[in-house]
Structure 1
Amino acid sequence: MSYIKIWIHAVWATKNRVPVLKPGVLSEVCTHIHSNAKDKGIYIDRINGYDEHIHSLMLLKSDNSISKQMQLLKGESAFWINRADLLKEKLEWADKYFATSVSESRVDAVRAYIDNQQEHHKKQTFMDEYKHFIESLGYAEADFG
């Protein structure tokens, strides 16, 4: 078995950024994603979000690519949300997502950032946040889908 420890901060949004993840629903969704990840051997340290997106700090499983791990989390959670009738309309996640590695020295800062999503988004919109992430990585502005 290979041993790796790669922290990933992942962010994904609802399709067309529809704001359906209100606090009660968001809590249920995050709890379910965390539980599902555990069942799949994926360690999620933190998960939280805001009306139209989710943040997760997790370890990359040694036999997963980032895209495979995201597919496991996003796909199953959308299926579960729709089967459980948590929303009036069908939930779809956007195809795209944001993921970046996190150095061990920054893990506590990312934890605090994820825990503080409700307060954070009183000051900054999701799109402003996304643009900041992309620019901080040196990319030109990109569409989140």
Structure 2
Amino acid sequence: MGSYTQLTYHVVYATKYRDPSIIAEIREKLYEFIGGIIRGKKGRLIEIGGVADHVHILAQLSATLAVADVIRDVKANSSRWMHEQTAVKRTFEWQKGYGAFTVSYSRIPKVRSYIQNQETHHRRVTFQDEYINFLKRHDIQFRLEYLFEDEHYG
């Protein structure tokens, strides 16, 4: 008998200090680039979206690769790509870490819709509140003081 999997993840991560550096002019190209990385890792991008300070990815990932390895490569390669774009006028970095949540096959349409409506959603909810809600909903323990990187001056 063969082995069959359908491992779908909703992955969320932010720019460093939640800097609004994913500018509209480059956002779709960034998403296409990220999709290419996921395909190169034997995954299938289902949906991608976000706003200027973070990204949501809904993807089926290969059972032969660790989620952490795939996301590390996505973040490293997309960060390098962003540095090569002339439209990006400042230093670009992703924040350390990410959230990855499994998605039941029956919930894929709902998560897709959620990702597609990020612009509207974030008129009411901050990224920080959204992320904390994800962690709580998935019963993931965290300490708020270590959750987000903050820029400190002086």
TM-score normalised over the length of structure 2: 0.87
Question: What is the DSSP-based 3-state SS (H/G/I as helix, E as strand, rest coil) of the residue aligned with 2:63?
Answer: coil
Is the Cα–Cα contact under 8 Å of residues 131 and 141 in structure 1 kept in the other structure? no
Q: Percent identity?
A: 30
Match of residue 126 from structure 1: 127
**1:1-145 equivalent positions in 2, closer than 5 A:** 2-138=3-139, 139-142=141-144, 143-145=147-149
Q: Which has the higher strand share?
A: 1
Q: Which amino acid aligns with 2:39?
A: K
RMSD, matched Cα:
1.6
Instruction: List per-residue Cα deviations over 1:73-122 (Å, max 9, x = no partner).
Output: 11110011102234111211111101110011111100000111111111
Measured in 2, the distance between the counterparts of 1:6 and 1:27 equals 25
Is the Cα–Cα contact under 8 Å of residues 19 and 52 in structure 1 kept in the other structure? yes
Measured in 2, the distance between the counterparts of 1:79 and 1:86 equals 14
Question: What is the DSSP-based 3-state SS (H/G/I as helix, E as strand, rest coil) of the residue aligned with 1:56?
Answer: strand
Q: Which amino acid aligns with 1:29?
A: L
Which runs of no fewer than 5 residues in structure 1 stay unpaired?
none
Say which is worse superposed, 115-124 or 82-91, in terms of deviation: 82-91
Instruction: List per-residue Cα deviations over 1:122-144 (Å, max 9, x = no partner).
Output: 11111110111111122345403
TM-score normalised over the length of structure 1: 0.92
Change (3 A) 1:88 1:109: same
Which runs of no fewer than 5 residues in structure 2 stay unpaired?
150-154
Say which is worse superposed, 96-105 or 38-47, in terms of deviation: 38-47
Is the Cα–Cα contact under 8 Å of residues 81 and 91 in structure 1 kept in the other structure? yes
Return the offset for 1:25: 2.1
Return the offset for 1:37: 2.2
Q: Which amino acid aligns with 2:126?
A: T
Q: Name which one, 1 or 2, has greater alpha-carbon Rg.
A: 2
Is the Cα–Cα contact under 8 Å of residues 44 and 59 in structure 1 kept in the other structure? yes
Counting matched residue pairs gives 145
Measured in 2, the distance between the counterparts of 1:27 and 1:101 equals 25
Measured in 1, the distance between the counterparts of 2:71 and 2:55 equals 12
Return the offset for 1:12: 0.8
Match of residue 152 from structure 2: none
Question: What is the DSSP-based 3-state SS (H/G/I as helix, E as strand, rest coil) of the residue aligned with 2:96?
Answer: strand
